[in-house]
Amino acid sequence: MNSRYYFHLTNGDHVVLDEDGLSLADVRSAAVYALETVEELRRECQSAPIDWQGWKLHIVDGSGRTLHSFPLDAPDPAIQTLQ
C-alpha cells in the first residue's frame, strides 16, 4: 500500500513547501526520488555550490513527521539509514 510523501526545501529561514506530495511504495522509494530531484535541481540551476549552502530537502510523511533530510550543499548525498 502506497503512502503520500512530501518534499520540502528549507534553509532554516525560508521554506518551500511541497503541497501535493507523491504517492510512493515506501520511504526508500521516497529517498530515491529525493536524490533524483536534488540531482535534477543541480543540473537545471547551474548555481555555484555556495548557493546551496544550508539548504536541505526534507522527506515528510502525511502526519508532518520528517523522515529523512538531504543537504543540497553536499557533493554527493547518499541514502543512509532510513526510518
- For the cut 80, the answer to whether the pLDDT of residue 11 exceeds it is yes
Which 3 state secondary structure label does DSSP give 1? coil
Indicate the domain borders of the chain.
Answer: 3-71
pLDDT score at 76? 60
Q: What is the pLDDT of residues 12-54, one digit of tens each?
A: 899 999 999 999 999 999 999 998 888 887 778 776 666 778 9
3-state secondary structure of 57: strand
pTM of the model: 0.81
Higher pLDDT, residue 77 or 48: 48
Hey, what's the cell of 28? 526508500
So what's the pLDDT on residue 83?
43
